[in-house]
Amino acid sequence: MRNSPIAVFDSGLGGLTVVRELLSELPGEDIIYLGDSARVPWGIRSPETIRRYAMESAGYLMGFAPKMLVVACNTASAAALEELEAWSPVQVVDVIRPSALAAVGCTDKAVGVIGTEATIASGAYQRAIQALDPQREVISAACPLLVPIVEEGRSEQDPIVLHVLGDYLPRLQRRRPGALILGCTHYPLLAGTIGKLMGPDVVLIDSGKSAARQVRRQLQQGELLNPRPEGGRLICYTTDNPQRFSRLSMRFGGRQIDQVTFVGTDQLQLPAGEKIVRS
């Protein structure tokens, strides 16, 4: 098992910000990544659709016999974690619980959370934080335009980026949280500007970094760390255009990824016996 890969899935390219942290934290591990770019973004969809897409992605990745499953997508972590854990034959690490742990650990003040419409509407961060500290105040804000803004390729200094952040963040700023969770894989690309707008007293929590540390902890506990100190391989699959995936990989993953394989969404199937119930 120690030589088996870590399977990671996301709604698209954003999860590469999590992969980047995994590679930095665990350079010896092999990683299989699936980005469902043909159906991105998941953050605007209903919980049952997100659950179906997440289970299909996870089901596909189990074909690679991984030692661990990482849900790199905040939206999927919020909507589908219970189903994934009930079904998965291997440990599941999401991006929400590790971020909640990091936030509760670094401040006694309120915790702010920004994320997609679906992530914030789910209340998953609030539940994860209050599971650790029931009295903790949680201040959430959905920021639907940030994903398309990052996908459009705008820089952090772009006036429209500043304007949109200036529209979303003041409600959070006024409540003076001690930490702000960047609850979407795309947001680390805007961390510099978000940090400046929130001010030096607010610790930014990168959900990818928190998840990577959690992966290390669980692999260590299970004696599943790959003995190789470095040289892990990254193998990527996408449900849409592999060329576009390669082109944008530097932006999200911090490296040029040339080996990307197309897999049709019709090849992703719900694991046998699973039925997504409409809530």
Q: Could you tell me where the DSSP H helices lie in 63-158? A: 74-87, 96-106, 117-122, 124-132, 146-151
Q: How far is the CB of 53 from a copy of itself (least distance, A)?
A: 8
- The single residue of 106, 143, 184, 236 carrying the catalytic annotation is 184
Nearer to a copy of itself, 64 or 262 (CB): 262
| Phi, psi angle pair for 221, to nearest 5° | -55, -40
Is 184 among the catalytic positions? yes
Nearer to a copy of itself, 101 or 189 (CB): 189
Nearer to a copy of itself, 117 or 137 (CB): 117
Q: How far is the CB of 46 from a copy of itself (least distance, A)?
A: 4
Q: Please report, for the chain, how many H helices and E strands are present, in that order.
A: 12, 10
In angstroms, rounded to a whole number, what is the distance separating the alpha carbons of residues 207 and 70? Answer: 12
Q: How far is the CB of 159 from a copy of itself (least distance, A)?
A: 7
Footprint of a copy of itself (CB under 8 A) = 37-40, 44-46, 48-49, 144-145, 147-149, 151-152, 159-160, 163-164, 167, 239-241, 244, 262, 278
Q: How far is the CB of 227 from a copy of itself (least distance, A)?
A: 40
b/e 207-224 (16+ beta carbons within 10 angstroms → b): bbbbbbbbbbebbeeeeb
- The single residue of 73, 106, 143, 236 carrying the catalytic annotation is 73
| Phi, psi angle pair for 31, to nearest 5° | -130, 130
- Alpha carbon distances (Å) from 222 to 11, 76, 132, 217, 273: 28, 25, 23, 9, 28
Catalytic residues: 73, 184
